[in-house]
Amino acid sequence: MNIVLDTNIWIYLTKDTFYHLWVKLKEMKESGEIKVIVNDIILKEWARNKQNNIKTLSNNIKDEYRSALNISNYLQDVAKYNYLQTISEYKDEANRIKKAKERVEDVEAFMNSCKIIKTTEAQKLFIAELSINKNPPFQNNKNNFNDALILRNICEFVENDDPYLYDLIYVSNNPDDFIEKGSKEVYADLLVGLHPIRLKNVTELGEALKLAPQYIEDFEEWLEMQLENQADLELDMIMGK
C-alpha cells in the first residue's frame, strides 16, 4: 500500500498532539503494511521550513507554560499550590525544546529512510505547460506548481514501479490544489498520458492509516483473481485452446 504525505503533514508529525500517529506510521512502515514514498520536492520544502518549524515549536512550548501559569492566578491556597506542583515539570523549557528538536530530526531521518524518488525534467515541463495554458489546477492563477508536480511525479512512479502496489493514498490538507470540487477527483489534466491508478486523497493521516488495511484486503482479493485467471490461461494453452 503506497502512502504519500505532503510537506504540511510531515511538519504536523513533529507536534506532540500527533505523536500517536507518528508512532503508528513508523510501525506500519516497519511491518511492511505500507510503503511510504517521498520525493525530492517534498524534501526541499521540508528543508526550507525546518528552522521555522523548530522556532514555532520552541515558541509554543514557552507560551504553553506561560498560559498554564496564568491560570494559577484564579486559584487560591491549596488548590493553587497543587496546581503549580502539577505544572512544574513544564517549567523546564530547555529540556522540552531539546526534545522538540530531536523529534524534528527523527522525522527527517524517517523521511530519508523511505522510498525517495526524483521529479524528472519531463514532469516539470508537463506541469509548466499546464500552468502556461491555465489548465487545471492553474485556472485560478494560484501558485500550486509544486503540489501539481508532486502528484504527477508520484502517480507516474506508482504506475511504473510495481504492478502489485497499484494503490495510492495521498494525505494532503490542501486537496483543492489538485482535486476538482464537483467530482472530488484529481483534475484529469494532471493525469494525461498515465494509466488509471486507484488514488485516494484524505486530509488526515489517521484516516489514511485506517484505510490502508482495507485497501490491502481488497488488493489481496484482486491478486487472487489475477492468479486464477493466469492459471486458467496457462491451462488453456497446454490444452491447445
Phi, psi of 149 (to 5 degrees): -65, -40
Q: Residue 7: which domain range?
A: 2-48+116-238
- Report the alpha-carbon distance of residue 104 to residue 56 in Å, rounded: 12
How many degrees, rounded to 5, is the angle at CA 165 between CA 213 and CA 156?
Answer: 130
Domain containing 143 — which CATH number?
Answer: 3.40.50
Considering the domain boundaries, does residue 124 fall inside one? yes
Please state, in angstroms and as integers, the Cα–Cα distance from residue 129 to each residue in 134, 140, 180, 190, following that order: 8, 15, 19, 11
Q: How many domains does the chain have?
A: 1
User: What residues form DSSP beta bridges with 202?
Assistant: 171
Structure confidence at residue 222 (pLDDT): 45
Considering the domain boundaries, does residue 9 fall inside one? yes
Dmax over CA atoms of the chain, in Å, equals 93
Considering the domain boundaries, does residue 156 fall inside one? yes
Structure confidence at residue 195 (pLDDT): 80
Q: Which of 228, 232, 220 is nearest to 33 (CA)?
A: 220
Place of cell 489548465: 135
Please state, in angstroms and as integers, the Cα–Cα distance from residue 69 to each residue in 91, 96, 161, following that order: 9, 16, 54
Considering the domain boundaries, does residue 10 fall inside one? yes
**DSSP one-letter string for 12-29:** HTTSGGGHHHHHHHHHHH
Cis check: omega of the bond before 137, within 30 degrees of 0 = yes
Considering the domain boundaries, does residue 133 fall inside one? yes
Pairing relation of β-strands 35-39 and 2-5? parallel
CB contact set of 34 (below 8 Å; sequence gap of 6+): 1, 2, 3, 25, 28, 209, 212
Per-residue pLDDT of the chain (241 residues; tens, 9 = 90+): 889 999 999 999 999 889 999 999 999 999 998 999 999 999 999 999 999 999 999 998 888 888 888 888 888 888 888 888 887 777 778 888 899 999 999 999 999 999 999 999 999 999 999 999 999 999 887 788 999 999 999 999 987 765 545 578 999 988 878 888 888 788 999 999 988 777 888 889 998 888 877 664 554 554 455 556 555 665 565 556 5
Considering the domain boundaries, does residue 202 fall inside one? yes
Considering the domain boundaries, does residue 184 fall inside one? yes
